[in-house]
């Protein structure tokens, strides 16, 4: 059967295209009269102007309502997490195991603590956080009175950790059976650990396993208190030089020299029984001194 459409030559096709571009019979340009082209262009210009302004309005509203000093979404964290240093992990939990007859194993722990304590360097702290904070009271700051439109931060120095500061004993007790650990509570913007009238939050460590192997527990600063003057935290932008207050705990190990410890930050406002987050309000770790 012959093809239904007769074959067209190239010349004919070019002619067809030429007629499409400018059809002098109907006076149309690419299928539309110039007048229609003007209307359709105007329509699209108006359409894009409206769309662009709507987009800009939405962005502007978003930026206007955002406060650069506080994150918008922090609903997940109502109660702070707690961590311990040296942060040496075993199978799944923190295991602070060391060998008193092996200098290198004690050095490893001391190095972790020295590295962790770097921001707490006395000279550096007293330089960057030279505000005279009033101890025992929350440091509420409604204005940005520190230089460069920021808020003051209180100094926390390494020497506040007393016998666990690493100054008197550079081994932090890891050359014998009196190891120091450092407890830190994560920061949460605008969080006050206790109600204004209550006693300040403090760290309390209890022996879960191996009570007979722990002769003494000592806290630095005194009674393991996290002074209220370090709260509330106003965010990285408002308080660029902020450092978390720390609590060091020294355990005197005897007998088998191993124990399972739980350290909790005690306050009505800090929960510690969250099944889904074992580090909320507390930290559990194993301590073992070998020979
Ligand atoms: C502790 O270190 C000493 C000396 O390096 C070594 O002889 C001993 O086996 C180590 N103990 C353990 C439990 O690894
Ligand atoms: C603290 O910092 C100063 C100066 O930056 C330095 O000289 C000093 O050794 C540091 N101290 C400690 C304990 O790291
Ligand atoms: C900080 O305040 C205390 C108590 O008000 C005062 O004794 C001390 O001299 C002050 N220190 C400085 C450096 O201003
Ligand atoms: C551990 O180091 C401290 C400070 O350097 C020292 O006073 C203490 O005697 C040492 N203990 C042992 C068992 O070596
Ligand atoms: C302290 O705060 C807790 C939790 O927010 C609350 O249940 C308690 O009633 C408060 N106590 C006082 C004395 O305000
Ligand atoms: C620390 O916790 C233990 C066990 O929950 C409790 O017996 C002890 O009284 C607490 N110590 C302080 C100072 O709260």
Residue 251 has a pLDDT of 96
The answer to whether the beta carbons of residues 79 and 280 sit under 8 Å apart is yes
Four-point Cα dihedral 184, 206, 261, 263, nearest 10: -10
Tell me the β-bridge partners of 22. 29
Residue 36 has a pLDDT of 85
Residue 34 has a pLDDT of 82
Q: 118 CA to middle of ligand 2, Å?
A: 8
Residue 79 has a pLDDT of 86
Q: Is the CB of 102 under 6 A from ligand 1?
A: yes
Residue 75 has a pLDDT of 54
Q: Which atom of ligand 4 is nearest to the CA of 175?
A: 1
Residue 17 has a pLDDT of 79
Residue 73 has a pLDDT of 60
Q: 287 CA to middle of ligand 6, Å?
A: 19
Q: 86 CA to middle of ligand 2, Å?
A: 21
The model carries a pTM of 0.77
Q: Is the CB of 176 under 6 A from ligand 4?
A: yes
Q: 123 CA to middle of ligand 2, Å?
A: 7
Q: Probe ligand 6: pick from 204, 208, 260, 268, max atoms within 8 Å of CB?
A: 204
Q: Rounded to an integer, what distance in angstroms lies between the CA atom of residue 202 and that of residue 123?
A: 26
Question: Which ligand lies nearest to the CA atom of residue 154 in the structure?
Answer: 3
E-strand stretches of 10-64: 22-23, 28-29
- Stretches where the chain sits below pLDDT 50 are 1-2
Nearest CA to ligand 1 atom 11: 291
DSSP letters, 122-177, are HHHHHHH----PPTTS-----S--BTTTB-------GGGGGGGSSSS-TTTTTTTT
Sorted by sequence, the CB contacts under 8 Å of residue 241 that are 6+ apart come out as: 128, 129, 153
Residue 74 has a pLDDT of 59
């Amino acid at each position: 059967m012959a093809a239904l459409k007769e074959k067209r030559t190239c010349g004919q096709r070019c002619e067809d295209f030429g007629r499409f571009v400018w059809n002098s019979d109907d006076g149309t340009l690419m299928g539309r009269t110039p007048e229609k082209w003007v209307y359709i262009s105007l329509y699209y210009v108006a359409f894009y102007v409206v769309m662009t302004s709507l987009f800009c309005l939405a962005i502007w509203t978003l930026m206007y309502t955002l406060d650069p000093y506080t994150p918008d979404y922090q609903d997940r964290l109502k109660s702070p997490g707690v961590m311990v240093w040296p942060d040496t992990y075993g199978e799944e939990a923190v295991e602070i195991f060391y060998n008193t007859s092996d200098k290198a194993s004690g050095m490893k722990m001391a190095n972790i603590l020295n590295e962790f304590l770097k921001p707490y360097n006395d000279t550096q702290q007293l330089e960057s956080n030279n505000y005279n904070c009033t101890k025992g009271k929350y440091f509420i700051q409604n204005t940005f009175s520190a230089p460069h439109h920021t808020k003051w931060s209180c100094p926390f120095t390494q020497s506040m950790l007393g016998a666990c500061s690493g100054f008197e004993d550079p081994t932090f007790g890891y050359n014998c059976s009196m190891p120091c650990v450092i407890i830190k509570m994560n920061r949460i913007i605008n969080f006050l650990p206790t109600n204004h009238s209550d006693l300040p939050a403090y760290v309390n460590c209890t022996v879960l396993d191996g009570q007979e192997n722990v002769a003494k527990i000592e806290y630095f600063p005194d009674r393991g208190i996290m002074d209220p003057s370090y709260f509330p935290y106003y965010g990285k932008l408002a308080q660029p030089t902020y450092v978390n207050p720390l609590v060091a705990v020294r355990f005197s190990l005897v007998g088998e020299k191993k124990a399972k410890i739980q350290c909790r930050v005690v306050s009505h406002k800090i929960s510690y029984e969250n099944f889904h987050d074992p580090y909320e309000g507390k930290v559990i770790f194993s301590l073992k001194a070998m020979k």
